[in-house]
Amino acid sequence: MTAGIKFIFMLASICYSTTAFAQKTEVHAKLIIQDARFNNADISEAWVQQGGYLVLYSTDDSEKVFLASVNPGQKSQSYGNTFDLKVKSVKADSDQYEHDIFTFKWSYINDYDDKKGTASVKLTKIVKDVGVAFTCLIIAGNLDVIEFKGYVQGSLKPLK
């Protein structure tokens, strides 16, 4: 199984489908931002109060997985395809929650200034008793560091 397919299947445990985009789109995970940092400066207010989120999705005309960071209050987003995916799964024990670490490259474009680039991304999905949390570290080509933390919308403790 390729890393891309494994990535989609692993995220499917927390996914739902939608057709909210112009073409038929399957959303694999919507990550609601509760904390945001830009080069260690707290920018949470601009993201949390304005409903900011990350979304991983695919389209019906591509096998690629896309990432978008969306700030509805500012009517802005950065979006693009992901590639060079690596996945590491860690089982829960007495010291840590079960978690999956996804590292990949993100070829993005900002719709607010048309800047393009490639970023390195480390996305960690953390399975807790009350739901699924995430951390996302994005290092842009110019070495700016963006960090988001929050929860996966609609996640519930899996039924057994």
What pLDDT, in 10s, does the model give residues 123-153? 999 998 888 999 999 999 999 999 999 998 7
pLDDT tens digit string along 15-29? 333 334 456 888 888
pLDDT > 70? residue 122: yes
Whether the predicted pLDDT of 62 surpasses 90:
no
Nearest to 68 by CA among 34, 60, 58: 58
Beta-sheet pairing, 76-90 with 66-71: antiparallel
Give the tens place of pLDDT for each residue, 99-112: 989 999 999 999 98
pTM: 0.79
Cα distance between the two ends of the chain: 26
Q: Would you say residue 12 has pLDDT above 60?
A: no
Check residue 155 and give its pLDDT: 39
> Does pLDDT of 49 surpass 90?
yes
| pLDDT level of residue 8 (50, 70, 90 thresholds) | very low
DSSP codes, 78-90: EEEEEEEEEEEEE
The DSSP element (H or E) to which 5 belongs, if any, is helix 3-12
Residue 4, classed as helix, strand or coil, is helix
